[in-house]
Amino acid sequence: MQLTKHAHACVSLVGDRGRIVIDPGALTPDADAAVAAAEAVLITHEHFDHFDEELIAKALEARPELRVYGPESVVGRWTQARRGQVTAVVAGDEFTVGGFQVAVFGDLHALIHRDMPRVTNVGYFLDGRVYHPGDAYHVPDASVETLLLPTSGPWTKVGEAVDYVREVAPKQAFQIHELLLSELGQQYAVRMLGPGGLTEVPLAIIPVGDTVTV
């Protein structure tokens, strides 16, 4: 499959039979174009940098064929009006959309602070190869080839990220959720979290707009 990196946590994936987009949020300038090109949208959780409610609402209205998957906290607002277009998912669910086999893992957003409630967060495992965890260090019960690794945010910690990469043990990883890091910060993450640092997993930066084969 082909993976295109959009700003922050958003990626598009294209296979032989379709295209999906994950987490087109308000910090992704081309989120509207990414959604317009996709058969389906997968959303990990309700935070604005992963979920642009106005954008998704307009897309559902304009395209009855569009399918949107996410936790109940995301899609519940449309369950009655958009029955058949939106689907609430939880850990353990599996479905096929846009030509992709999707398995759902995880349940909660990583802890930001004890004074902030933890929202529901799910991760998506695509075609038994690529895992997008949203904002969590949940280790899926699966063999992961490509991990999309969050590297910045109020909840991320280098030490926890190291342990996460070691536990998931993917063949390769790509940075996502990197918007709060400067170019130097992203390069530092590569050094700390990849070979020569604290794991043996190659960690790469995909420039926004570029596409790689996974």
Q: Residue ranges per domain, the chain?
A: 2-213
Question: Angle at Cα 142 formed by Cα 52 and Cα 186, nearest 5°?
Answer: 55
The predicted pLDDT at position 149 comes to 98
Rounded to whole angstroms, the Cα distance separating 95 from 74 reads 18
The predicted pLDDT at position 37 comes to 98
The predicted pLDDT at position 212 comes to 98
Rounded to whole angstroms, the Cα distance separating 48 from 26 reads 6
pLDDT along the chain (214 residues), means of 10: 98 96 98 98 98 98 97 96 95 98 98 97 98 98 98 97 98 98 98 97 98 98
Element (H, E) at 187: helix 183-193
Q: To 10 degrees, the CA torsion angle through 74, 77, 82, 88?
A: 40
CATH of the structural domain 2-213, one choice from 3.40.50.300, 3.30.70.260, 2.60.40.1260, 3.60.15.10 = 3.60.15.10
SS3 188: helix
* One-letter amino acid of 179: L
Please say whether the beta carbons of 24 and 35 come within 8 A. Answer: yes
The encoded tokens of residue 188 equal 């530092």
The predicted pLDDT at position 43 comes to 99
SS3 53: helix
